[in-house]
Amino acid sequence: MSSRNFASSSEQAAVSSGGGCLSGYILPPLAVVCVGALLMFFSLGSANPPVPAEIQTSSQPMPLSNVFTPEVQFWAGRIQVWSAAAGLDPNLVATVMQIESCGDPRAGSHAGAMGLFQVMPYHFIASEDPYDPDTNALRGLNYLSRSQETAHSNPRLALAGYNGGIGVIDWSESGWPAETQRYAYWGSGIYAEASGGAGESLRLQEWLMAGGSSLCRQAHDRLGINP
């Protein structure tokens, strides 16, 4: 991972209004209808109207694909929570966890990266435990969110920025470090299949055969998952 920056977000709301029963002079029959509607309104008091179905379901978490390995699926519930807090697609978050640690909370690298999302030490404050899953996710996913914003929601570029530093997003891919090129290749393929509803990920199987399986065996043992 490279230097992490924190992104801010803004919300916009649009409200429109139009004329109603009291917006002008009307014919008597319509006036009766309007008065009746007003009486019904006051008789209901402050009762809340039903919430439209599309609003009721809009707050539901996005589903996590079944393509990820059991070690990543172990964290499915937490991934949903972390993703919602960071404003990210849980399948993108799971893709990063898959490649970085395969769900091993104690994973480490020769470069010093730590935990589920392989965060470098300088992204934590002194009082934090880098291997605590919630802390690791907070620091890692804040940077992924920033990378995605810089990449204008292009998942391949966001993944490249997470691995090689946000600055590489503006480079030609041919100028990316070899590790970042491989990372974008694995990650973009896995994410595309996961978010597209595929029953399995051929790119994930390719990653496992290329060496990812050893990382997953380590995670499997660490988490105590039954065979």
In the CATH hierarchy, which fold is given to the domain comprising 62-223? Lysozyme (1.10.530)
This prediction's pTM: 0.74
Tens-digit pLDDT profile for residues 165-218 = 999 999 999 999 999 999 999 999 999 999 999 999 999 999 999 999 999 999
Residues contacting 197, CB < 8 A, separation 6+: 65
**Residue ranges covered by each domain of the chain:** 62-223
Tens-digit pLDDT profile for residues 108-160 = 999 999 999 999 999 999 999 999 999 999 999 999 999 999 999 999 999 99
With b meaning 16 or more CB within 10 Å and e meaning fewer, what string describes 60-77? Answer: eeeebbebbbebbbbbee
Q: How far apart are CA 21 and CA 33, in angstroms?
A: 9
- Average pLDDT of span 25-32: 38
The catalytically annotated residue of 71, 100, 173, 179 is 100
Does the active-site annotation cover 128?
no
